Structure 1
Amino acid sequence: MHLDGPSRNGLASSERRDAIGVLVAGLNRLARSDVLDRTGLRKPAERVVREATRRGFGTMVAASRASRSFQRRGSSSAPGVRPASAPSSGTFDLTPTDDEQLLLEVARELAADVLRPAATEADDDAAAPDAVLKASLEIGLPVLGVPESLGGVAEERSAMAGTLVAEALAHGDLGLAVATLAPGSVATALALWGTEEQQQTYLPHFTGDDVPAAALALTEPSVLFDVLAPTTTAHREGDELVLDGAKSLVPRGVDAELFVVGAELDGSPVLVVVPSGLPGLDVTEEPAMGVRAASLSRVTLTGVRVPTDAVLGATDGTTYAECVRLSRLAWCALAVGTAQAVLDYVTPYVKERQAFGEPIAHRQSVAFMVADMAIELQAMRLLTYRAASRAARGEDVSRDVGLARQQCASRGMRIGLDGVQLLGGHGFVKEHPVERWYRDLRAIGVMEGGVLV
């Protein structure tokens, strides 16, 4: 019997669900068997059940990602609505505004009550729990950088508020922070650089109840990768752009319904809006050493076609460069939050841990190491806040972001390493979270894109 395309897809989806159901049912029956207890395989079997269920439904979700339709709206290619620059007081004041303080308190509560308890399992599963993602939507993370006139909450550029929120969330867990911030990063990019048509087409999906997973894809799987010279290419064919290349370490890529991809067009790097489900777009899981809870993925583009007006912002490379800087600023904020978590954990530990009849904090080598961690952390925070405050005012932040990233990448990783060292053998085992924070902090100097403030 001949089946056309839609019928084949429907049949494949039905067969996939049936196969997954049979597999999971069989694994569940096996997990309830007392044979597992006698053979000592109880824990491995339960892990297989959990992983099979997650991967099975992840495959179903990936197969149906194209179900959301981003209907083109608006008729103007003119610049869309832009958030106003924050006013300058003429002083370097790090005191949060009343609105920022309220937002910060909510983010800290989410990090402590939701992200931190879920972090270990999320790291093991390489996926963020649905409860965590839903909680992030309830506090409005996706619309943090979207102007009020477009359904968001921003009265002015939100680089400072975004930095504070990213730091607070990373104190709970860096991987889950990336997973929760990724969709809002795409919405922020649309608010900063989108045309009127792009904003009307995509932003309503981020301001509603059913927020799509979305990702900013800049990193590439190549040796000595230079983010400002992407090897992914876009060339014109009539009224279309044809994209070829690969992106790696993309947060929540398997579930994403919308990507903002970095590519070279006419000799300059640009950002291109790419909906999922297009022919030639392939997404696979890519678990890494750290940031595992963000469900990192590889996105391969082979002859992917989008309209020429899918370019986001300027085509001369200036928008792309600004995006890179704001993304690096976000990673700096994540580094600060995670490094603070390390310091907060090891400080009471060294005061309570006894060796030779006294707390190990009484030894100068230990006390000096903790003091150095605190000093370097404050330098990371000050450099990051300065860059964020200048970005919020619309000023050139190339130098400020460069200094902050250098400090956060090198010293953040060192703080993670020192945290592991101070815990001794405890720093090497998963019973304590410091080993996970160390793995996450190593990503600061490697990851590009993914998040944005």
Structure 2
Amino acid sequence: MSVDVQGPALSVLSKVAQADWPDRLNLRKPFEKFIYTGSRASFRMMAERSASKPRSDRPRTDDLFDLSLSEEQQMLVDMLQGFALEVLRPAAHEADAQALVPAALLNQASELGLAFYGVGEAQGGMAGERTVLSNALITESLAQGDFSLAAALLLPLSAANCIRRWGSPAQQAELLPAFVGETGAPAYALAVTEPAMLADPKSPATRARKRGKHYILDGDKALVLGGLQASRLIVAAKASDGPALFVVEASSKGVSRRAEPAMGLKACGLARIQLKGVKVPASQRLAGADFDFQAFLDYSALAFCALAVGTGQAALDYVVPYCNERQAFGEPISHRQGVAFMIADIAIELESMRMLLWRACALAESGKPFHREAYLARLLCAEKAMKIGCDAVQLLGGHGFTQEHPVERWYRDLRSVAVLAGGLHL
């Protein structure tokens, strides 16, 4: 580990080690192991640097599609799953009811230092070049606690990934250090989805007109995750030379926001944002004329796929013990073929979703074309995630319709996979 990376890595490790929730989750020993090996590669993986070197447990070639996780990846997954199940899930019902992420939960999540994984080493973070699969693992693990809370907590990481991937060196040097500062990551939101019927995300209706050293933005954005609380927006708009991204101060003249309650994702604070003659410096346009907007959308699609896989796994893990314990006609309902086959279908569909997601991520972080795989993953996840949510509700019968069990909330959240575009970024 380089000297530049070792300092931030150990700083994050120290923050996590001093937190009180690892004791409640019985994760103190894993954290001690992280700290003890902090000068080696343990936290390197959590910043994805280990993705660029051979796996320690078996040889790897660039032509091999390897589904096994490295030791560091598995430790990261175990840690975040513990946080998701013991911290996010108990808080999810109230967050959904209040349509707000509790401040205490935001503070606990900041102790994880997720934004560090999206900031490059030059700006004080720990993200390497090959980070996509591990970002998907982070997303999937958190989503096992709750889809909506996971999406809300991943907004800083998404914004950092977006700036690191598409920003110029000057923009990265200006914007990324704040994500790894002592005061915590700034509140960003990605404004991409638009309210028009059958809106095509590849062709934004929001317009960006060049006026001297500024751009003038006009348009509407819908279902913006975290849009009400964000201090900065990353807005997708159509410029004269094609789609582009702009970093916009949420307090800018001409920006108006209002709550946009929806069927699901209530804890995310969904917002409708109107941009009317918003003046943005040309220096705040990310990337240039060669910006690959389709790749930007593909990375977003993979983020929602990872959320769908994680929540689908949560649903499967929830219905299996329920059906084994629920008695009907003197035996567990899981003994009925109609129930057993439905659970088996969930498991099969979930593995298919995960394989397509991981395949697309593996290609993306290897620098290979991945649009086809991302499209297939999005297509499958959009369809099967809704079916998994629906089947989970069905398996619980009348209980599935009530808020006594989380499956009704997961069902509502999973439907968003087929609706949203661009709100997150792996």
Q: What TM-score, normalized to structure 2? A: 0.84
Pair 1:277-2:265 in alignment = no
Equivalence for 1:89: 62
Q: Which amino acid aligns with 2:305?
A: C
TM-score by length of 1: 0.79
Percent identity of equivalent pairs:
48
| Residue from 99, 108, 111 that aligns with 1:135 | 108
Q: C-alpha offsets along residues 55-102 of structure 1, whole Å, 9 cap, x if unaligned?
A: xxxxxxxxxxxxxxxxxxxxxxxxxxxx99946532111222233223
What's 1:370 paired with?
Answer: 343
Distance 2:275 2:420 in 1: 20
Would you say the 8 A contact 1:313–1:319 is kept in 2?
A: no
Say yes or no: does 1:104 pair with 2:77: yes
Corresponding letter in the other structure for 1:272: F
* 8 Å contact from structure 2 (residues 152, 267) kept in 1: yes
What letter corresponds to residue 234 of structure 2 in structure 1? V
Q: Residue 346 in 1 paired to residue 332 in 2?
A: no
Task: Tell me by how many angstroms 1:267 deviates.
Answer: 5.0
Please give the per-residue CA displacement for 1:392-423, whole angstroms capped at 9, x wherever unaligned.
11211100001101111101110100011111
Matched residue, 2:270: 296
Question: 1:84, 1:156 within 8 Å by CA — same for their partners in 2?
Answer: no
Does 1:171 find its partner at 2:144? Answer: yes
Aligned to 1:214: 188
Q: Which residue is equivalent to 2:394?
A: 421
- Alpha-carbon deviations, 1:219-274, whole Å to 9, x = none? 11111011101100000111110000011111111111111110000151111111
**Aligned-partner SS, 2:367:** coil
Deviation at 1:319, TM superposition (A): 2.7
2:117 counterpart of 1:144: yes
Aligned pair partner of 1:225 in 196, 199, 202: 199
- The Cα offsets for residues 349-407 of structure 1, whole Å up to 9 and x where unpaired, read as 11111111211111111111111111000000000011111111121110000110111
Q: Contact 1:262/1:320 (CA < 8 Å) preserved in 2?
A: no
Aligned to 1:247: 221
Q: Provide the rounded CA distance (Å) in 2 between the counterparts of 1:311 and 1:139.
A: 30
Change in Cα spacing, 1:238 to 1:85, as seen in structure 2 (3 Å) is farther
**C-alpha distance in 2, partners of 1:315/1:101?**
39
- Work out the CA distance in 1 between the residues paired with 2:186 and 2:170: 19
Structure 2 residue aligned with 1:446:
419
Structure 2: unaligned runs, 5 residues or longer: 1-48, 54-60
Partner amino acid for 1:195? Answer: S
Q: How far did residue 285 of structure 1 move?
A: 1.3
Aligned residues: 370
Does structure 2 retain, via aligned residues, the 8 Å contact 1:85–1:394? no
Q: Name the amino acid aligned to 1:118.
A: A
Verify the 8 A CA contact 2:119 2:179 in the aligned structure 1: no
CA contact (8 A) 2:83 2:142 kept: yes
Q: 1:186 aligns with which of 159, 181, 190?
A: 159
Instruction: Quote the Cα distance in structure 2 between the aligned partners of 1:421 and 1:85.
Output: 40
* CA drift at 1:287: 1.7
Larger Rg: 1
Matched, 1:306 2:271: no
Alignment partners' CA distance in 2, 1:209 and 1:448: 31
Q: How far apart in 2 are the matches of 1:132 and 1:402?
A: 33
- Where 1:172 maps in the other structure, the secondary structure is coil
Out of 97, 111, 115, the residue aligned to residue 88 of structure 2 is 115
The partner residue of 2:366 within 372, 383, 393 is 393
Corresponding residue of 1:330: 303
Task: Look up the SS of the partner of 2:107 in the other structure.
Answer: helix
Which amino acid in structure 2 is aligned with residue 120 of structure 1?
H
SS at match of 1:177: helix
Partner Cα separation in structure 1 for residue 417 and residue 361 of structure 2: 17
Provide the C-alpha distance between the structure 1 equivalents of 2:221 and 2:181, rounded to a whole number of angstroms: 28
One-letter identity of the residue aligned with 1:218: V
**Coordinate RMSD, CA, aligned:** 1.5
Q: Which residue of 2 aligns with 1:238?
A: 212
Matches of 2:75 and 2:395 in 1, distance apart? 35
Q: 2-side partners of 1:85 and 1:226: how far apart?
A: 34
The letter for the 2-side match of 1:359 is: P
Distance 1:209 1:215 in 2: 21
> Which stretch of the first structure deviates more once superposed, 97-106 or 322-331?
97-106
Displacement, 1:301? 0.5
CA deviation profile, 1:313-367 (whole Å, cap 9, x unmatched): 1334x43211100000000000000011111111111111111121111111111
**Equivalent residue in structure 2 for 1:197, among 170, 173, 176:** 170
Q: Partners of 1:377 and 1:97 in 2: how far apart?
A: 22
2:242 is the alignment partner of 1:268: yes
Structure 1 letter corresponding to 2:270: L
